Amino acid sequence: MVGEWQDCKSIFSNGTEFELFVDQCLECTRYRNDHCRVLNACYKAMCDESAFPYADLQDAPKGYGGKRCRHKTTEPIERNKYSRKQIAGQLSFEL
């Protein structure tokens, strides 16, 4: 690796840099149903720079453009299928 990733200090410099970041988001298992908290904050920052998620992103090493999300993961999210609570009077279908 050429350099270490650093804390994010600036917004995206251009649309291409943003599109490359969006492509990374689509691979992440936290991006579900067209929703990601970090990506939504980036979209909001197009109108209001104060909404940009500086704490959730990292800048590429010197000499390279781009950003990456600190929370990106490709591991599936595990959920306990028995965590649902039965509500009185509600029908339940077991699969």
What integer pLDDT is reported at residue 48 of this predicted model?
Answer: 92
Helices (H), the chain: 15-27, 37-44
Contact 19, 66 (CB under 8 A): no
11 assigned to some structural domain: yes
What integer pLDDT is reported at residue 34 of this predicted model?
Answer: 76
DSSP 8-state assignment for residue 72: -
61 assigned to some structural domain: yes
What integer pLDDT is reported at residue 80 of this predicted model?
Answer: 67
The pTM for the full model equals 0.70
- Of the candidates 1, 34, 33, 47, the one whose C-alpha atom is nearest the C-alpha of residue 58 is 1
Its domain, for residue 38, covers 6-69
92 assigned to some structural domain: no
95 assigned to some structural domain: no
For the chain, 95 residues long, give each residue's pLDDT as a single digit of tens: 457 888 998 898 888 889 988 988 888 888 887 788 999 999 999 999 999 999 999 998 876 668 989 988 888 877 766 666 767 777 767 65
Q: How many domains does the chain have?
A: 1
CA distance 23 to 80: 29
41 assigned to some structural domain: yes
88 assigned to some structural domain: no
Q: Number of helices and strands (H, E) in the chain?
A: 2, 3
22 assigned to some structural domain: yes
